[in-house]
Amino acid sequence: MLFSPWSRLSLLAVLLAAAATTVALHEPQQLFAQGWRPQLSGGGALALFALAYGLCTAALVPRPVLNLASGALFGAALGTVAAVAGTVLGAGLAFGLGRLLGQDALRPLLRGRWLAAGDRQLSRRGFRSMLVLRVLPGIPFAVSNYGASVSRMRWSAFLSATALGCVPNTAAYAVAGSQATEPTSPVFLVASAFIAVPGLAAAAVAWRRRARLRRPGAPREAASRAVTEPVRTGSRRSPAVSLPVPDRP
């Protein structure tokens, strides 16, 4: 019973709740931005930062804060390398936890049309689907990790798409963090625009689609036309068919 799917899913929920509570109370990301000064140098400092970055992202610390800190601590180039390594590590930890503790319990629940379609997309075209999720802004990192773990996506596709897709956004944050002391510099402004413009464009597209789907009367009008419009047979229009109504007794 301790190793049943629902017991493992409950353990995953407890771990995530504990991680979120710890982050909310202690704010470990502040150690990167303010007080974290590793005694190591060079490759040792980068490896330590990447390890801490991965653990923090698995504990639901927001990635943008960590990306800015990586640029502020190591500069744009080395900060990008450390942040990408930490991103892949954190994604792998979350993916492994979700697959080990949650997949067996959640897969039988994928019966809805949208859930089943998403599962098929991730399972059959794992690399391409995950690459799109990483490149598009506004998709929560933890949600994509744990959502992918429920599917049958391969480890290689998940990690390679994560490593490749996170580079543009991570590099922009690292560049902005490296120039944080000069917020009026052209480099900082360009990096900030690279971060903001895709997010605004994605929000506008999502808003337009949401408004189109919620437009009143659209489904009703389509259904009305389908019922009342005469049926076409070849080039002729068949007359409307009226069914006899039985007399009341």
Please give the average per-residue pLDDT across 63-84, as a whole number. 91
Q: What is the pLDDT of residues 156-190, one digit of tens each?
A: 999 999 999 999 999 999 999 888 777 778 877 88
pLDDT in tens, 88-142: 999 999 999 888 887 676 666 666 565 666 667 777 888 988 998 888 877 888 8
Helix 167-178 / helix 76-101 crossing angle, nearest 10 deg: 130
- Predicted confidence at residue 195, as pLDDT, reads 75
Q: Given its phi and psi angles, is residue 233 left (phi above 0), alpha (psi -120 to 50 degrees) or beta?
A: beta
Whether the per-residue pLDDT at 220 is higher than 70: the answer is: no
Return all residues near 22 (Cβ < 8 A) that are at least 6 apart.
28, 59
According to the model, what pLDDT value does residue 24 have?
Answer: 77
Q: What is the mean pLDDT of residues 148-160?
A: 89
Q: What is the pLDDT of residues 3-43, one digit of tens each?
A: 677 777 788 788 888 888 887 777 766 665 555 555 566 78
What is the pLDDT of the chain when averaged over all its residues? 76
Per-residue pLDDT, 82: 94
Q: Do 24 and 59 touch, CB atoms closer than 8 A?
A: no
Q: What percent of the chain has pLDDT over 70?
A: 65
Task: Quote the pLDDT of residue 202.
Answer: 60
